[in-house]
Amino acid sequence: MKTQELFQVLEENKDKSLLFEYAPNLLVGANYHITEVKHLTVDSVDCGSQTDAWKETIIQLWESPSELGKTEYMSIYKALAILKKVGKMKPYKFDAEVKFEYSNATFHTAQLFVNDFEIRGNNLIVKLAVEKTDCKAKEICGVSEVLETVSSEEPCCTPDGNCC
């Protein structure tokens, strides 16, 4: 999702609460805060010596330990006020991909992309997902797109410790 699309969805749902699903059926706690907004320019070289560049907006979510019992989620109205204030200080590139940075005690720190969103009652649920790493130069490097599977009648590991 592009930054502009996120703002549009938020603007259309100002009267709702903003929830984030960081893994299937797991929500960021109601005690979250928007603690940082990063405007990144990525300038890269891949393993095939190809260069690339793109922009990202990364919004960091943090769960406050002092608000563990909180049950009311942040309103979209409040989230928009925070994001608009940031935009006045450091303008957004609205065509930049938007990601959310998040972690908790059982989930590693990750930059999650927006996979989808859902309106459920008075809540807008932004569904986040992990983006897997990939080789961008498969053709140049001779990497096959299809993984080959090998089957054998013999077990890979045997009781005498003979493991692959």
Q: Is 112 exposed, middle or buried (0-12, 13-18, 19+ CB in 10 A)?
A: buried
Pairing assessment for the beta strands 97-104 and 107-120 based on DSSP bridges: antiparallel
CA-based torsion, 62, 63, 64, 65: positive or negative: negative
Distance CA 121, CA 131 (A): 28
> pLDDT 10s per residue in the chain (164 long)?
999 999 999 999 999 999 999 999 999 999 999 999 999 999 999 999 999 999 999 999 999 999 999 999 999 999 999 999 999 999 999 999 999 999 999 999 999 999 999 999 999 999 999 988 888 888 888 887 765 555 556 555 555 554 54
pLDDT single digits (tens) 104-137: 999 999 999 999 999 999 999 999 999 888 888 8
- Strands (E) in 30-106, as ranges, are 32-45, 51-63, 97-104
* Distance (Å, whole) CA 135 – CA 80: 36
